[in-house]
Structure 1
Amino acid sequence: MSPTNRTVVVTGIGATTPLGGDAASTWEGMIAGRSGVKPLEQEWAADQAVRIAAPVAVDPSEVIPRPQARRLDRSAQFALIAAKEAWADAGFTAKAGDDPAVDPDRLGAVIASGIGGVTTLLDQYDVLKEKGVRRVSPHTVPMLMPNGPSANVGLAVGARAGVHTPVSACASGAEAIGYGIEMIRTGRADVVVAGGTEAAIHPLPIAAFGNMMAMSKNNDDPQGASRPYDVARDGFVLGEGSGVVVLESAEHAAKRGARVYAEAVGQGISADAHDIVQPEPEGRGISHALQNLMDRTDLNPAEIVHVNAHATSTPAGDVAELKALRKVFGDDVDHMAVSATKSMTGHLLGGAGGVETVATVLALYHRLAPPTINVENLDPEAEAAADVVRGEARKLPVEGRIAALNDSFGFGGHNVVLAFRTV
């Protein structure tokens, strides 16, 4: 098999999210239809128009030793937690070089963030203003760098084949995983740790997104605020956390007897060239990404039975995505169970693609599609375009190979679609 045709598989998963401190508890929360959205209890939230968010269920201070945490932005802390879980889940017992099962020169890391160390930047600016130059932390620069999470994950696992940081707003995490797939497929690496992370629950991002009218202001009903496809949806709820997978060439995984969750089939990428923040209303850019995926892989529309939708709970974006699915797949969309897990986790921005890849892979592995919660009155346009899984998880076909898509789109018109398939 030539390097450009190498089969890529997922052998490890990790997550820390508003639903749980690891992948298992996150998945359990999704299948149960549990919301991770809560009222913001910080003093600064009192003056905000938006006073709800979805913080991680387990604070990183409970996992990472304080001396190490003081040198890491919160986004990097999340990434390390998820990456270490995924690394162990893949069956590796130590960093590359110390574990003979992986060559550090054949190991890569691709961890994305949409905003990077924004909380470090803003907090240290406050220190500068209030306490003066000498009190600014000497760790500020490596903490605020957008590549900080990927660099720290690369150090933790011993990656020397390349460490990368795609930045494409809310498509960043998915783009990182797509980049990791290509690193293996083209022969640059045998194993890649890939995913996304974000930590932006802070006064300025909350105020900025709120003033854009992008976020839900349903402060009186936090757990019902994120409601993709519902006629009353009024914006996304900001979440935080990280999702990471271990990607591996099928040959490398087989040689070491690794458990395989799913095949990572490939990616489709496009750009809207429409507006810096607004989605193209007919989903043309999304359609292009979907078609790009189908043109570049051996996927058959008939085997795609599940879509983890981007669906952030915004009036324009949710329906545009479903229209694109219908445009590309036609009547085949009727057998695709569409789930919007942001209804439970909120929107993790650059971390969304990572967490939702974990959810997509587990949906295939368990043959079970998570529900979309809070859909009390389904938007007629959504109902006409696709089959939304509402209220309760839904079983997927138990026989034969099945595939699933994970959609991620970002400000700037970035569109990424990932495809996975059972093995």
Structure 2
Amino acid sequence: MSHKVVVTGLGATSPLGGDVATTWENALKGVSGIIKLEDSWVEEHDLPVSIAGRLAVDPLESGRLSKVEAKRHDPSGQYALVAAREAWEDAGFSAENAEDAEELDPERIGVAFGTGIGGVWTLLDAWDTLRDKGPRRVMPMTVPMLMPNSNAAAVSMTFKARAAAQTVVSACASSTESLSLGLAMIRSGKADVVIAGGSEAAIHPMPLAAFAKMQALSRRNDDPAAASRPYDTDRDGFVMGEGAAVLVLESEEHAKARGARIYAELAGTGVSADSYHITAPDPSALGATRALKEALEDGQVDPTSVVHVNAHATSTPAGDVPESNALHAAFGEHTKKIAVSATKSMTGHLLGGAGALEAVLTVKAVADRKAPCTINLENQDPEIDLDVVTEARDLPEGEIAAVSNSFGFGGHNAVAVFRSV
């Protein structure tokens, strides 16, 4: 059996669009998905930050979610289902779930899903209900909706995926780690297909207030589109985003047997820990460097074949420089030949969903031979010696590879490497 794992389906709902095609088109154009929040709770709580990357399309308007499902899932679960259904359809399966698809065995279909926070809207709404109206008014579905594994469970039940339904909660590295889980599940022979991704719906007054108190968020409230500024000398913090993204991973043998369209190979992944600080990255970037090198080694990828990186690049003063240092440590002189995109400049930071969305963009970059934009870079930080893509750029022909980086609070580092097919 082939040990190669390939990507056969993509799905997304993001601040740039309600599907992959629109999200990708706007990422190439350099469109900002960051807006001014008009919610009454911004003024009610006197929040110091009033901007975020809201979904471009309401889940119910996507046509992939029913009203009944919307009531039974936290927003993060709603987003997960929308993205997963698009990815499943995009992979070309003949039925809505594995149980009914002739080419699939439900016991050989797995789910690996990430989230950073989970059902925060459900949790905090339930607390408000308990406090104001008493325990009898708390919804019986509260716990199933707030638990972090609810997204993996919902996707598993929707597609009758029975090999496993695993959840990763590793802050902003969560959904890139889910790709590592999915890769291992297929390589081990446990599954033929894995629905892997991540989702986050944390644009809520409490997380916004908490991140703002940490001085982690940009306060460019008067200019939302220019607020997320990775690598710029005037960057002042990240911008919250929301959404979900999914990749259908499949063994090459299984994909070819059913005549599936293949976007790219998920060649390898690397996961490490800084063991340094609960929020700050290790300035030496040793953990990030180790994850990069491990991903390249895992996929037997020649570092000189890497032509593109979708960077974690959150736009924080403390975070962008160590990642640049890690890239130089992993790639040496070849770093100068790598086109680096910082797409959070357009989408904001989807926390646990960020890695999956950026992986989708990386797969599209490899498949379409295009590197997406980095916007708002007016004065590049001299400590960041990278070739940053400020206008969509063609990537070389021939065999190429591209990297997607994710780093999270707690010192979590995760890297995925995709290779052309």
**Alpha-carbon deviations, 1:226-274, whole Å to 9, x = none?**
0100000000000000010000000000000000000000101110011
Number of residue pairs matched by the alignment: 416
1:38 equivalent in structure 2 = 35
Counterparts of 2:42 and 2:28 in 1: how far apart (Å)? Answer: 31
In structure 2, stretches of 5+ residues that fail to align are: none
Indicate yes or no: 2:88 matched with 1:91: no
Report the more deviating stretch, 7-16 or 292-301.
292-301
1:72 equivalent in structure 2 = 73
Q: What letter corresponds to residue 388 of structure 1 in structure 2?
A: V
2:49 equivalent in structure 1 = 50
Counterparts of 2:233 and 2:293 in 1: how far apart (Å)? Answer: 29
- Which of 206, 211, 214 is the aligned partner of 2:213? 211
Counterparts of 2:69 and 2:287 in 1: how far apart (Å)? Answer: 42
1:352 equivalent in structure 2 = 354
SS at match of 2:364: helix
State the Cα RMSD in Å: 0.8
1:178 equivalent in structure 2 = 180
Counterparts of 1:111 and 1:298 in 2: how far apart (Å)? Answer: 25
Shift of residue 337, structure 1, vs aligned partner:
0.3
Counterparts of 2:392 and 2:310 in 1: how far apart (Å)? Answer: 13
Counterparts of 1:380 and 1:277 in 2: how far apart (Å)? Answer: 24
Counterparts of 2:298 and 2:113 in 1: how far apart (Å)? Answer: 24
1:395 equivalent in structure 2 = 394
Shift of residue 167, structure 1, vs aligned partner:
0.6
Contact 2:35 / 2:225 at 8 angstroms: preserved in 1? yes
Q: What letter corresponds to residue 74 of structure 1 in structure 2?
A: P
**Alpha-carbon deviations, 1:112-160, whole Å to 9, x = none?**
1110101100011111111121111111010001000110000111101
Indicate yes or no: 2:411 matched with 1:410: no
SS at match of 1:26: helix
1:137 equivalent in structure 2 = 139
Shift of residue 334, structure 1, vs aligned partner:
1.2
Indicate yes or no: 2:383 matched with 1:381: yes
Counterparts of 2:292 and 2:73 in 1: how far apart (Å)? Answer: 37
TM-score (norm 1): 0.97
Indicate yes or no: 2:289 matched with 1:280: no
Counterparts of 1:68 and 1:366 in 2: how far apart (Å)? Answer: 34
Counterparts of 1:93 and 1:66 in 2: how far apart (Å)? Answer: 25
Counterparts of 1:131 and 1:289 in 2: how far apart (Å)? Answer: 49
Q: What letter corresponds to residue 29 of structure 1 in structure 2?
A: N
Counterparts of 1:19 and 1:54 in 2: how far apart (Å)? Answer: 9
2:269 equivalent in structure 1 = 267
Counterparts of 1:400 and 1:190 in 2: how far apart (Å)? Answer: 28
Indicate yes or no: 2:23 matched with 1:21: no
Counterparts of 1:119 and 1:246 in 2: how far apart (Å)? Answer: 28
SS at match of 1:420: strand
In structure 1, stretches of 5+ residues that fail to align are: none
Contact 2:289 / 2:326 at 8 angstroms: preserved in 1? yes
- Map 1:173-322; keep pairs closer than 5 Å: 173-322=175-324
Counterparts of 2:299 and 2:8 in 1: how far apart (Å)? Answer: 20
Counterparts of 2:230 and 2:375 in 1: how far apart (Å)? Answer: 8
Shift of residue 296, structure 1, vs aligned partner:
2.2
Counterparts of 1:83 and 1:67 in 2: how far apart (Å)? Answer: 17
2:366 equivalent in structure 1 = 364
Counterparts of 1:335 and 1:102 in 2: how far apart (Å)? Answer: 42
Share of identical aligned residues, percent? 58
Shift of residue 60, structure 1, vs aligned partner:
1.3
Shift of residue 294, structure 1, vs aligned partner:
2.5
Q: What letter corresponds to residue 149 of structure 1 in structure 2?
A: N
Shift of residue 284, structure 1, vs aligned partner:
1.2
SS at match of 2:72: coil
Counterparts of 1:296 and 1:18 in 2: how far apart (Å)? Answer: 32
Contact 2:7 / 2:249 at 8 angstroms: preserved in 1? yes
Shift of residue 44, structure 1, vs aligned partner:
1.2
Counterparts of 1:148 and 1:268 in 2: how far apart (Å)? Answer: 26
Shift of residue 62, structure 1, vs aligned partner:
2.0
Contact 2:99 / 2:159 at 8 angstroms: preserved in 1? no
Q: What letter corresponds to residue 142 of structure 2 in structure 1?
A: T
Counterparts of 1:133 and 1:97 in 2: how far apart (Å)? Answer: 39
Q: What letter corresponds to residue 349 of structure 1 in structure 2?
A: L
Counterparts of 1:137 and 1:66 in 2: how far apart (Å)? Answer: 17
Contact 2:55 / 2:242 at 8 angstroms: preserved in 1? yes
SS at match of 1:234: coil
Counterparts of 1:419 and 1:166 in 2: how far apart (Å)? Answer: 19
TM-score (norm 2): 0.98
SS at match of 2:383: helix
Shift of residue 297, structure 1, vs aligned partner:
2.4
2:169 equivalent in structure 1 = 167
**Alpha-carbon deviations, 1:152-202, whole Å to 9, x = none?**
000111101000001100000100011101100111100000000000000
1:421 equivalent in structure 2 = 419
Deviant stretches of 4+, over 4 Å:
none
Counterparts of 1:341 and 1:295 in 2: how far apart (Å)? Answer: 26
Contact 2:94 / 2:102 at 8 angstroms: preserved in 1? no
Q: What letter corresponds to residue 142 of structure 1 in structure 2?
A: P
Contact 2:69 / 2:78 at 8 angstroms: preserved in 1? no
1:12 equivalent in structure 2 = 9
SS at match of 1:405: strand
Contact 2:232 / 2:376 at 8 angstroms: preserved in 1? yes
Shift of residue 93, structure 1, vs aligned partner:
2.7
Counterparts of 1:176 and 1:93 in 2: how far apart (Å)? Answer: 25
SS at match of 2:26: helix
Shift of residue 295, structure 1, vs aligned partner:
2.7
Shift of residue 302, structure 1, vs aligned partner:
1.1
